[in-house]
Amino acid sequence: MSSKQLEIGDRAPDFKALTDTGESIKLSDYRGKKIVLYFYPKDDTPGCTKQACGFRDESDAVAEHNAVVLGVSPDSEASHVKFRDKYELGFPLLVDEDHAIAESYGVWGEKKMYGRSYMGIIRSHFVIGEDGKILDARVKVSPADSVKHALKAITGD
């Protein structure tokens, strides 16, 4: 099962991950900016594409509010590159093949589809403030609602 889910006011766990460009980054590299850290199950699937393209389409509003978007899934760097290029995503996609990042945020858990249970990423997002504390936490969120709620948390509207 998943570990404890994080809540508003909790300190966001730091991590180190490879991006779709092969660069190694840490969450703490973005301290001083707001961060939308969103978790999605799989590259180039309908819901995940809707969520990613929603964040892509709101990139100007995100940037205007001193914020960045980071997408996380258990897919490989090569898969992320294809997904990024196909949909012209302008933000990093992070490789979490061992699902350590998802576990640290409490969004790796049991899922059910067609009567079968399996472990996977639970679609979610965390908006992290400049100080590293969580401003918004949405777990089991729909792709469209994820973008809408994250943007609201960034802008304060």
The residues annotated with a catalytic role in the active site are 48
Number of domains forming the structure of the chain? 1
Whether 10 is covered by a domain: the verdict is: no
Q: What is the pLDDT of residue 3?
A: 56
Q: What is the pTM of this model?
A: 0.94
In-domain check, residue 1:
no
- The CATH number of residue 67's host domain is 3.40.30.10
Question: pLDDT tens digits for 98-130?
Answer: 999 999 999 999 888 788 998 999 999 999 999
Q: Which domain holds residue 113?
A: 16-155
pLDDT in tens, 124-153: 999 999 999 999 999 999 999 999 999 999
Q: Would residue 131 count as lying in a domain? A: yes
Q: Does residue 4 lie in a domain region? A: no
138 located within any domain: yes
- Ranges of beta strands (E only) in the chain are 16-19, 24-26, 34-39, 67-73, 93-95, 108-113, 116-121, 124-128, 134-139
What was the pLDDT predicted at 113?
Answer: 79
Residue 2, domain member (yes or no): no
